[in-house]
Amino acid sequence: MNRLIHSTSPYLRQHKDNPVDWQEWGEEAFAEARRRDVPILLSVGYAACHWCHVMAHESFEDAHVASYVNEHFVCIKVDREERPDVDAVYMEATQAMTGHGGWPMTCFLTPAGEPFFCGTYFPPDDRGGMPSFLRVCASIADAWSKRRDELQSAGADVVQQLAERAAVPPPASLGIPATALDSAVEVLAGEYDDTNGGFGGAPKFPPSMVLEFLLRQHARTGNPRALRMVESTCERMARGGIYDQLAGGFARYSVDAQWVVPHFEKMLYDNALLARVYAHWWRATGASLARRIALETCDWMLAELLTSEGGFASALDADSEGEEGKFYVWSPDEVGPAAAAMFNVTREGTFEHGRSVLQLLRDPDDETAYAAERARLLEMRATRVRPGRDDKVVTAWNGLAIAALADVGVLFDRDDLIAAATRCAALLADVHVVESDGEARLLRVSRDGRPGTPVGVLEDHADLAEGLLALHQATGERRWLDLAGRLLDSAVAHFADGNGGYYDTADDAERLVRRPQDPTDNATPSGLAALAGALVTYAALTGSGSHRDVAERALGAAAPLVGRFPRYAGWAAATGEALAAGPLEVAVVDAPDLARIARRTTSPGAVVVTAGESPLLADRPAGAAYVCRGFVCDAPTADPAELSRRLGVAVAS
């Protein structure tokens, strides 16, 4: 076994038996590279990454390859989910050098950490124009021996160029103008797939943050195009193979433009974000499909990702028994004629070897028969070898899960979901929060209830605050509001760049060759946008003008992205909609019927409190609802019809 045996990361532990002498990222590895005077081989991936497993099997498990790289390099393995800061720096270098990125990521660094050659997957033999991994390693080793000065100069030049490219100018304005938000819808409409839903072509990813923006845009402006894009995309995803038609839960992405064949890994963050989107779609329209998918997705999270400590595991693998998707695909003979017709399982198949990914292209005519077939196939599937689970608990993604469970639980009267969100929040507060000098700081991960060593990045502080604020609204517990405020204050103090924007790492975090800063959304909201969103919500719940001011400055840094590239700034745009709408502050005191109406409001970013210790409830007489904006309130009302009118809620129930 190599030194990864001591790691808490499931991904790193997958490589503990490799003959490659892997080490974790840290000063010890860099000191060894300096002592041995050799370059560093950096391999970055994650546990649910299919091609990471492929490259490991082909190259890292090969004794001959391992002997060569152990002799000529110090080998470092990084879990990108534990160290998003390391991943961000070297992914930027990889994209700059190659024009694309992805995982596994393979980089060669000087002992100072400067990248001079980067790539992604390399095959075991020369193939399709790609050199073999061993050929690449031999070329690098030869160049280090004979032309080291060139490599070191190239590495320093790469770092300099990345620093120049990363310079973020001060924001030109506060917030995001409403005209930019409206223009963003037009840009999105031009990139929208009218036939299949979603944006762009294959591969196609669930556009969670963009969908939330479009729902809020429709709520503020009534723009029918915005709602149509949401409804079509959500329906096509829910009926396609990207959604697990038996157990619920969304896969990472679709390899085609029609949402038919997914890349089968299932991530916590996708499902948390999508559960919230579907719940908000239901809130806007009452669509039965939206309700079903929101609830099934939350139930899947509890069934498949909940850990014994109350947190949520990161992901399920795409593979089982060494084959991608084997757990999920079917032949007509396996499912039988009734299920084949119901779930579009054909002789030709939609996947490999005549097998199909299940789809539900229309609602079943017979709900009883549908439920029976679904239960039968689930029972059959339970006998198969299950995909592996990455059971580390990531702070940011658990924050997103808390927000989803709290929102869905409140909207659909599911106290068990709110209880699960509360238990998760308690775990993070006990294990992930570090008290230091009166501040609340965060660790990135835990596993089996034990904290890991990586420190939290900006998205951890922002997304956990977002989840705690949603939980405060669901439960009324003051501790969640207070902890969210402390996390936000720490983020503002330690991640700000001085120009209104934010770095992704703290000012006292480990120094990398570049301090990463990326205002664009990726699979999750950018740290900057997530921080701005949580600050707006906190300001609405507490009346803190200073927190709102900070949010507006942060959004100003993202405003150019919203107008030009809204697909990569959906969460910033959604937060801009909240500011454009107020957001509304709704307090309901001891009036359950009014509380149900208040929770149905679609006003962008509205905060709703109905019980407990909230500043919005202080000194208000019982039996009425109070609708406020900027802590300036309309007259209280006890009339359900009047409250529905004020909030734009069509269904007063």
| Phi and psi torsions of 357, nearest 5° | -90, 135
Domain end: 356, 383, 410, which one? 383
Cis peptide before 111 (omega within 30 of 0): no
For the segment 316-361, what is each residue's pLDDT rounded down to a tens digit?
999 999 899 999 999 999 999 999 999 999 999 999 999 999 999 9
- Of these ranges, 156-165, 309-318, 436-445, the one predicted with the greatest mean pLDDT is 309-318
What is the per-residue pLDDT across 406-446, written as a single tens digit (0 to 9) for each?
999 999 999 999 999 999 999 999 999 999 888 999 999 99
> Residue 583: is the preceding peptide bond cis (ω within 30°)?
yes
Give the CA angle between residues 25, 28, 29 to the nearest 5°.
55
Same domain, 378 and 498: no
Query: Does the pLDDT value for residue 166 go beyond 70?
Result: no
Does 52 share its domain with 138? yes
Same domain, 438 and 490: yes
- The answer for residues whose C-beta is within 8 angstroms of residue 632's C-beta and 6 or more apart is none
pTM value? Answer: 0.94
Residue 99 lies in a domain: yes
pLDDT (average), residues 482-492: 97
At 200-223, the pLDDT tens digits run 999 999 999 999 999 999 999 999
Question: What's the number of CA atoms in the CB half-sphere (13 Å) around residue 634?
Answer: 19
Mean pLDDT of the chain: 94
Task: Check residue 652 and give its pLDDT.
Answer: 41
Q: By the 8 A CB rule, do 273 and 215 touch?
A: no
Closest to 249 (Cα-Cα) out of 231, 229, 264, 232: 264
pLDDT in tens, 15-49: 999 999 999 999 999 999 999 999 999 999 999 88
**What is the count of structural domains for the chain?**
4
Which stretches within 286-414 are classed as H helix? 288-300, 332-335, 337-343, 367-381, 395-411
pLDDT band at 619 (very low <50, low <70, confident <90, very high): confident
322 in any annotated domain? no
Q: State the CATH number of the domain containing residue 42.
A: 3.40.30.10
Domain shared by 449 and 401, yes or no: yes
| Domain finish residue from 581, 601, 616 | 581
Tens digit of each residue's pLDDT (9 = 90 or more) over 582-602? 999 999 999 999 999 999 999
Last residue of a domain, one of 359, 383, 407: 383
Same domain, 423 and 556: yes
For 231-245, how does the pLDDT look when each residue is reduced to its tens digit (9 = 90+)? 999 999 999 999 999
| Torsion 130-119-523-4 (CA) sign | positive
161 and 197 share a domain? no
Q: Which domain holds residue 348?
A: 328-383
Look up residue 567 and give its DSSP letter: G
Is residue 170 in some structural domain? no
**Per-residue pLDDT at 173 exceeds 80:** no
The pLDDT confidence band at residue 50, using thresholds 50, 70 and 90, is: confident
Q: Is the pLDDT of residue 653 over 50?
A: no
Residue 55: its pLDDT value, please?
95
pLDDT at res. 632? 84
The contacts found for 517-522 with CB under 8 angstroms, 24 or more apart, are: 517/166, 517/168, 518/88, 519/168, 519/557, 519/558, 519/561, 519/569, 519/572, 520/561, 520/565, 520/568, 520/569, 521/209, 521/568, 521/569, 521/570, 521/571, 521/572
Q: 171 lies in a domain?
A: no
User: For 370-391, what is each residue's pLDDT tens digit?
Assistant: 999 999 999 999 999 999 999 9
* Residue 642: pLDDT over 70: yes
Res 611 pLDDT > 80: yes
Q: What is the pLDDT of residue 532?
A: 98
pLDDT for res 579? 96
**If you compute the radius of gyration of the chain from its CA atoms, what whole number of angstroms results?**
25
Whether residues 157 and 189 fall in one domain: no
The model's pLDDT over 124-141, given as tens digits with 9 standing for 90+, comes to 999 888 899 999 999 999
Is residue 643 in a domain?
Answer: yes
